[in-house]
Structure 1
Amino acid sequence: MFSSIVVFLTYLSTISLTIFLVLYVYFKYKNRYRDKCLASIPGPEPRYPLIGNIDLFRIPGVPLNECVYKTLVSLCRLYKNYGIYKISLGPQPVVVVFKHNLMDAIFSSNVHIEKSEQYKFLSDWLGDGLLLSTGAKWKGRRKLLTPAFHFKILDDFIPLMNAQTNIFLDKIKDMSTDRQYIDIREPIAQLTLDIICETAMGVQVGAQVGKNKPYVAAIHDLGEILMKRVFSPWIWPDVVFNRTPIGRTFCRSLNTLHSFTRNVINQKKQQFISNNDTKTTDQLTSDDNIYYSTNKKKKSMAFLDLLLEYHIKDNKLSLEDIREEVDTFMFEGHDTTSVSLGWSLYLLGLHREVQDKIHDELTAIFGDDIDNNQRDITAEDIQRMTYLECVLKESLRMYPSVPFIGRHLAEDCPVGDYVIPAGVDVFMIVEQMHYDSDVFPDPNHFRPERFQSDTTSSSSSSTTINAYNYVPFSAGPRGCIGKRFAVTEEKIILAKVCQNFYIESIEPLDSIQISAEMVFRAKSPLNVRFIPKTY
């Protein structure tokens, strides 16, 4: 009996080994051209066939999401002279590019618009919406949605942005009693959630008054889980991932997000059909966490209104199609903006001289009496905030909201002296590109003046700042559709804060822990003191 078992196990092992060797030879032969192209690209050799370079992204005692950032940056420094390197995530080769002259070919291309394989882990959340779709579907959706971001519609949102920012100002006044420091990450996230919901979605969610906190927490959870999954090949298969603790957390968070967005869509659909903006909260919903604005002024057709018109009148979109786009824009219009604002306020708190220049610009626009400083900011005011825009640009240079952009190459792509073969994923490290001293002299210092037109040309930089070496909103065909919305929102918030407060940050830059997830998030508190101004 025992000998029969030994014979069977020996036979099974031989068969398994044979299958493995056959598959190995097949894939090596199939990928011979790919491997030949990749051989010329520098990079660390993988230690294990199925694990690749995953071991590099694990540092004892350091959370994985922080390790990812530290490792990618250290490899960028190691291969600084090349501007490019390759790594293996499990069995998949990935090319990492971090020099602007090598990224141009990808950003400007109408062919290389497909997201990298790693984005597929977002599909359960965002579906096949504008962020993840490609080809004809992406082009069609982009064309459908572009009218929702027309400048005239965005101008209609400015009063709502003012109103929500005023709530934020009152809140931080209460939180900053006795000039204490406060961690601005959560209050800013609540503010941007209120703004995206009331403007693009046409609903009020009351995040700043304590409602819908689970939604914000769920987005943070999904960001951490995504990065852990990307750099853990053993949990790539859904059948494995869904049975792990983080897989179960993912499912709970996903249910929170989808429940929220479907509730918003269904209630907005009722309002759209009834075409009656003056109904009361009780008439519309029993859920007191989401209620409609009773502003009687007729609004232009915003994002969700446009989607519902395509659904109800033209039958171009299903409710699930709408859910995908709403989830996409709720994330992109809330989380990325809140991260950007957090970094901007923190950096201002380290640079009083920059605040003084903002103060001078705002005084030139509003005057120096308290009544003018308390009025709503208008579209004309925003256009005149040129130095404040430089501050925002410099903050986004140092801390771009989206630190990595991934693309899957549909065709071979020449980049410099290399050819990245079709079928390979490319990671473009935006944060490292923004620290290229050839474009941004003295890149480790916060200098908004580098974006002023009169100083850019006379800078010691040998390369002009342009759309392909400064990409906080991506670039090319897949550039961010909501860029103007985000810039308008952030300028209003920063201007109102600087009108009312001086800002002080306590921790130095090198003490802030950073986690590279879907967004460039500070994992340690961004403690800021708001000191009221007197007029």
Structure 2
Amino acid sequence: MVHERAREESCLSFSGVVLTLSIAIGLYYLLRRNPRLKQMIDQLGGPPGLPVLGVALSFLGRPHEEFLTIVGEWIDKYGRVIGAWIGNFIPYVLLAEANSIEKLLSTTNHIDKGKYDYNLLHRWLGMGLLTAPRTKWSARRKLLTPSFHFKILEDFMPVFNEQSTILLDCLNNREKDGKSFDIFPYITRCTLDTICETAMGKKINAQTSSVNKDYVDAVNGMCELITQKIVQPWLRFAPIYYLSPVSRRESAYLKKLQGFTLSVIKSKKASRKIKKSNEGIMNVDETEQVYGKQRKAFLDQLLDASENGNVILSDSDIREEVDTFMFEGHDTTAANLGWTTMLLAAHPECQKKVQEELDEIFKDDPTRDVTTADVAKMKYLECCVKESLRLYPSVPIITRNVDYDIKLEDGRVLPQGAYAIAAIYFSHRDPAHFPEPLKFNPERFSVENSTKRHPYAYVPFSAGPRNCIGQKFALLEEKVVLAKLFRTYSMEATEKMGDVIPLPDVILRPKNGVNVAIRKRT
């Protein structure tokens, strides 16, 4: 009882500190706010804000999953270009239509990511490709682009196939009991195994073993904490953040994550040194050997670039790039695989078309591995993946610093100094480009239906010079996994799509998972 009372008093004390600091910070920024910026943000139209708090009260006490509902209500009421203040010190402009998104993303003028959002990732990812400012980003992008050439991605096909086969094995018992279950954790562990092997050349066996459970838990924990920092804006301020338990949890996760990556880098460097000293006598790690051919993980390619003198990369530089691809390469891919699986399970007529296409491709041997030639024939499956990304983009919003005034077609101006949100979750549902926008209709992405569409109406991997470098990797992996899943199983959704709640964490995931019943195809 004494301990409970002490804990309650401690929480109240911390809440008082948070409230006091929040008001002080809000007043400070209210007094120093740029008058021109305020005027131009207000002229855009949008939800009215309160002194000091801005529109923050709109989200206070509301469940996190209602974020998209609130923003959708704003769009319906104020239009597809909206100005808003968060706490009177973060000036946002929200863009939910193709023309304004094109003006933001298509040039190098506004290439820096929105600092108030992406800074939350710095402790984990440092200044990797996702978060780097323009000067560092340009050099890193040039260095890393060759690593995603299609010929190099082809070398990863055995990993995609192997991990997909392990996924099928893991699902076997669930199929036997015939009950509904959440398939999303299974898919997530599959993509985590895949990215560890392709990015680091390291097997962690997340699907079949608990040996590296601490690392797996730390990845999931960090994603949850980043979301917490997004929805609790007072945690953006160092005095509050370092007083909170979030800081201690994050430090513990970072120790595991960065320690693991650095240990892999150290081990990889040592093995490469031994190989060189053995004058060509190779002692290749089992994860780097594919049918007698050496496969280079993403980490190996970074080490090659550094050792060849093309660029100088410290262990910290390499670690932040590997961690970036660990973060981006498993969670976003898992999300789209989950949403696509759910949508096909809920639309049996589309699932049947996918299976008929796969049966035609694999009629000579239904159980063989997928090749890149097979993937090229999966036209309808690709349409389904794209339509899934339209309805549920893995990254529902993208932010940029507005470095110069942007004049819109209607004459309004997005002012320099604002933080622009490309709200692609809503632009993908714009009826001007997608009639019946809430309907799952893969035929939208047939060649004839896509040709005349605005190029920025559909940007699930961002667009322009800072688009996603790993989009070909992601789509290749997703098609292999989905092909194996739907060649082997038929799936039935056990909840209505209208009851599914999209949860906008760092990525967009279904709040209650992907609940399906599966049965073996005969």
> So what's the TM-score if we normalise by structure 1?
0.87
Partner of 2:419: 425
| Equivalent residue for 2:391, pick from 379, 390, 398 | 398
Letter in 1 for 2:392: Y
**Structure 1 residue 420: deviation in Å?**
1.0
CA separation in 1, counterparts of 2:25 and 2:388?
51
CA separation in 2, counterparts of 1:410 and 1:342?
36
- Aligned pairs, how many? 490
- Tell whether 2:448 aligns with 1:454: yes
Checking the alignment, whether the CA contact within 8 Å between 2:288 and 2:294 is kept in structure 1 is no
| Equivalent residue for 2:513, pick from 515, 521, 525 | 525
SS of the equivalent of 1:373 reads: coil
CA separation in 1, counterparts of 2:215 and 2:25?
45
Checking the alignment, whether the CA contact within 8 Å between 2:355 and 2:486 is kept in structure 1 is yes
Partner of 1:129: 128
Instruction: Please show how residues 306-455 of structure 1 align to structure 2 within 5 Å.
Output: 306-314=301-309, 316-367=312-363, 372-417=365-410, 418-455=412-449
Relative to structure 1, is the Cα distance of residues 20 and 164 closer, same or farther in structure 2, using a 3 angstrom cutoff? closer
Relative to structure 1, is the Cα distance of residues 22 and 480 closer, same or farther in structure 2, using a 3 angstrom cutoff? closer
- Tell whether 2:458 aligns with 1:470: yes
SS of the equivalent of 1:401 reads: coil
Partner of 1:489: 477
Letter in 1 for 2:367: Q
Partner of 1:251: 251
Letter in 1 for 2:140: R
SS of the equivalent of 1:427 reads: strand
**Structure 1 residue 280: deviation in Å?**
8.5
Checking the alignment, whether the CA contact within 8 Å between 1:156 and 1:299 is kept in structure 2 is no
Relative to structure 1, is the Cα distance of residues 267 and 246 closer, same or farther in structure 2, using a 3 angstrom cutoff? same
Checking the alignment, whether the CA contact within 8 Å between 2:93 and 2:418 is kept in structure 1 is yes
Checking the alignment, whether the CA contact within 8 Å between 1:59 and 1:67 is kept in structure 2 is no
CA separation in 1, counterparts of 2:403 and 2:101?
16
Deviations along 1:146-169, one digit per CA (max 9) or x if unpaired, are 111111111111122111111111
Identity %: 38
Deviations along 1:485-521, one digit per CA (max 9) or x if unpaired, are 1011000111111111101110111222222121001
Relative to structure 1, is the Cα distance of residues 409 and 356 closer, same or farther in structure 2, using a 3 angstrom cutoff? same
Instruction: Please show how residues 193-208 of structure 1 align to structure 2 within 5 Å.
Output: 193-208=192-207
Checking the alignment, whether the CA contact within 8 Å between 1:126 and 1:328 is kept in structure 2 is yes
SS of the equivalent of 2:67 reads: helix
Letter in 2 for 1:95: V
> So what's the TM-score if we normalise by structure 2?
0.89
- Tell whether 2:236 aligns with 1:236: yes
CA separation in 1, counterparts of 2:521 and 2:25?
71
Checking the alignment, whether the CA contact within 8 Å between 1:198 and 1:204 is kept in structure 2 is yes
Relative to structure 1, is the Cα distance of residues 277 and 151 closer, same or farther in structure 2, using a 3 angstrom cutoff? farther
CA separation in 1, counterparts of 2:332 and 2:466?
16
**Structure 1 residue 362: deviation in Å?**
1.4
Relative to structure 1, is the Cα distance of residues 220 and 53 closer, same or farther in structure 2, using a 3 angstrom cutoff? farther
**Structure 1 residue 359: deviation in Å?**
1.6
CA separation in 1, counterparts of 2:405 and 2:195?
39
**Structure 1 residue 355: deviation in Å?**
1.2
Letter in 2 for 1:352: P
Relative to structure 1, is the Cα distance of residues 32 and 491 closer, same or farther in structure 2, using a 3 angstrom cutoff? same
Partner of 1:15: none
Checking the alignment, whether the CA contact within 8 Å between 2:42 and 2:83 is kept in structure 1 is no
Structure 2: give runs of 5+ residues left out of the alignment.
1-23
CA separation in 1, counterparts of 2:105 and 2:239?
35
CA separation in 1, counterparts of 2:25 and 2:204?
55
**Structure 1 residue 92: deviation in Å?**
1.4
Instruction: Please show how residues 255-334 of structure 1 align to structure 2 within 5 Å.
Output: 255-275=255-275, 279=283, 292-293=287-288, 295=290, 297-314=292-309, 316-334=312-330
| Equivalent residue for 1:52, pick from 51, 54, 70 | 54
Q: Which moved more, 1:100-109 or 1:302-311?
A: 302-311
**Structure 1 residue 176: deviation in Å?**
2.1
Relative to structure 1, is the Cα distance of residues 20 and 232 closer, same or farther in structure 2, using a 3 angstrom cutoff? closer
Letter in 2 for 1:251: S
**Structure 1 residue 96: deviation in Å?**
0.9
**Structure 1 residue 69: deviation in Å?**
2.8
